[in-house]
Amino acid sequence: MHHFQYQGGVLHAENVPLPAIAARIGTPFYCYSAATLERHYQIFAQALAQACPDTNTLICYSVKANSNLAVIATLARLGAGADIVSEGELRRALAAGIPPEKIVFSGVGKTAAEMRFALETGIHQFNVESEPELELLSRTATELGATASVALRLNPDIDPGTHEKISTGKAENKFGIAWRDARKVYARARDLPGIDLVGIDVHIGSQLTDLAPFEAAFRRVRAMVETLRGDGHPITRIDLGGGLGIPYRGDNDIPPHPDEYAAMVNRCVGDLGCELLFEPGRMIAGNAGILVTSVIYEKHGTDKTFLIVDAAMNDLIRPTLYEAWHDIWPVRAPAPSDPTLSYDIVGPVCESGDFFAKARPLPPIKAGEMIAIMSAGAYGAVQASTYNTRPLVPEILVKGDEFAVIRARPTYDALLKQDNIPAWLDPAYSPDR
């Protein structure tokens, strides 16, 4: 569910008409609903509380899904922690009000500098993904006179049945330590200074719409916990990652409800006496955001009709990167008598991959009208770029009948000032001066 609905024939974000936002800041823009962010977090938290009432749980919002400070702060006020994959994301989480003891550091390529900052900050846990990373973390912690709480991320070799570019739990993926090597690496970790080995981490992929791969992975985790405890390791935490999908295709694409997910978690690992950590990102932010864009031209080709809009692949790359589907809604509500036409919705970037939808059935939409690209709250603005020297689009947060600009559209001057022309390219330059 989300809070983008038609009121009086116009699409609203909560109680704010989208044309009112466009009139003030122009298009394109991202628009997020605070009510949707809050509802999705609360539904997930309530599901875990009901299914696992005797278990200590920590929900660490996956910052990489949407790292805007206002989004993180909205979730921090509800008690969320953060799953981060870089020093930059750690700094964002701290700036948004998430306490260090609720922050988990994931990712395959942590540097010594990032480890040092995280250790000095006092985060809850490092999810370590390889033996070389484990050795570096040990040296870094020892140099600081600190101790790192560590969960080793294991790769369970489970096919999540999702897009290959967001699959992370198969043996061929770069993530985690091979399952067969787990006991050896845990034994090594126990002997390293500066390392407090507390748990297991697993994450098999993103946008999963079936509980079966989760359950297969979590049952493997359960067996590994029992094996490791038999080896003398006091496993007290299990990080089960994220990955629960969202409905990108409206009512035709319904993933499992968090209640079903939580019940499955409890069946698999709820009686192990471990703190359970979760890293939801997309399921909280995905349907809480849309990308609003205006039609520049309606172009009739030989076999197709194109709607050329003022947003582009640099603003939302998911359709071309992942072959992703996003529902598209006209901002002006269609009339029941409107015919259905077929459009390719494309942007102005000079790439054939610059599209949002192909052969999409929609009511008639003309130049100057706006459309909303739905389910764009996760992996949208965070993956945007300034390709073709296009400024990043602004981000808006709505709460009730108010809205705020939470990231402004940069000026062209600000964009150009990021570059520096060396002195030797100045016509007046002389090396002898």
377-399: pLDDT as tens digits: 999 999 999 999 999 999 999 99
Instruction: Report the pLDDT value the prediction gives residue 46, as an integer from 0 to 100.
Output: 98
* Side-chain half-sphere CA neighbours of 86 within 13 A: 6
Instruction: Report the pLDDT value the prediction gives residue 169, as an integer from 0 to 100.
Output: 43
Band (pLDDT 50/70/90 cuts) for residue 251 is: low
Band (pLDDT 50/70/90 cuts) for residue 16 is: very high
Range in 72-81, 155-164, 349-358 the model is least confident about: 155-164
**3-class state of residue 290 by DSSP:** strand
Instruction: Report the pLDDT value the prediction gives residue 156, as an integer from 0 to 100.
Output: 85
| H-assigned helices in 192-349 | 211-230, 258-269, 282-285, 318-322
Tokens 């390709």 locate to: 387
Question: Does 350 qualify as catalytic in the annotation?
Answer: yes
Instruction: Report the pLDDT value the prediction gives residue 281, as an integer from 0 to 100.
Output: 96
Instruction: Report the pLDDT value the prediction gives residue 158, as an integer from 0 to 100.
Output: 78
Band (pLDDT 50/70/90 cuts) for residue 163 is: very low
Instruction: Report the pLDDT value the prediction gives residue 433, as an integer from 0 to 100.
Output: 60
Band (pLDDT 50/70/90 cuts) for residue 217 is: very high
Catalytic residue, candidates 31, 60, 274, 350: 350
Q: Is the pLDDT of residue 171 over 70?
A: no
Instruction: Report the pLDDT value the prediction gives residue 70, as an integer from 0 to 100.
Output: 98
What is the CA 382 to chain-centroid distance, rounded?
8
Distance CA 401, CA 307 (A): 31
Mean pLDDT of the chain: 93
Distance CA 433, CA 413 (A): 30
Instruction: Report the pLDDT value the prediction gives residue 167, as an integer from 0 to 100.
Output: 41
Instruction: Report the pLDDT value the prediction gives residue 161, as an integer from 0 to 100.
Output: 54
Contact at 8 Å (CB) between 121 and 93? no
Instruction: Report the pLDDT value the prediction gives residue 166, as an integer from 0 to 100.
Output: 43
- What residues contact 193, with CB distance under 8 A and at least 6 apart? 138, 141, 142
Contact at 8 Å (CB) between 66 and 382? yes
Contact at 8 Å (CB) between 37 and 74? yes
Instruction: Report the pLDDT value the prediction gives residue 421, as an integer from 0 to 100.
Output: 93
Instruction: Report the pLDDT value the prediction gives residue 429, as an integer from 0 to 100.
Output: 87
- What residues contact 306, with CB distance under 8 A and at least 6 apart? 297, 298, 299, 300, 343, 344, 345, 346
Band (pLDDT 50/70/90 cuts) for residue 372 is: very high
Instruction: Report the pLDDT value the prediction gives residue 159, as an integer from 0 to 100.
Output: 61
Q: Mean of the pLDDT values across residues 39-52?
A: 97
Instruction: Report the pLDDT value the prediction gives residue 88, as an integer from 0 to 100.
Output: 98
Question: Using one digit for the tens of pLDDT, what is the confidence trace for 185-211?
Answer: 999 999 999 999 999 999 988 788 889
Band (pLDDT 50/70/90 cuts) for residue 220 is: very high
Give the count of beta carbons closer than 10 Å to the beta carbon of residue 408. 12
Q: How many helices (H) and strands (E) does the chain have?
A: 12, 21
Instruction: Report the pLDDT value the prediction gives residue 109, as an integer from 0 to 100.
Output: 93
Instruction: Report the pLDDT value the prediction gives residue 34, as an integer from 0 to 100.
Output: 98
Which of 293, 309, 387 is closest to 344 using CA atoms? 309
Contact at 8 Å (CB) between 134 and 201? no
- What residues contact 175, with CB distance under 8 A and at least 6 apart? 108, 129, 153, 155, 168, 169, 203
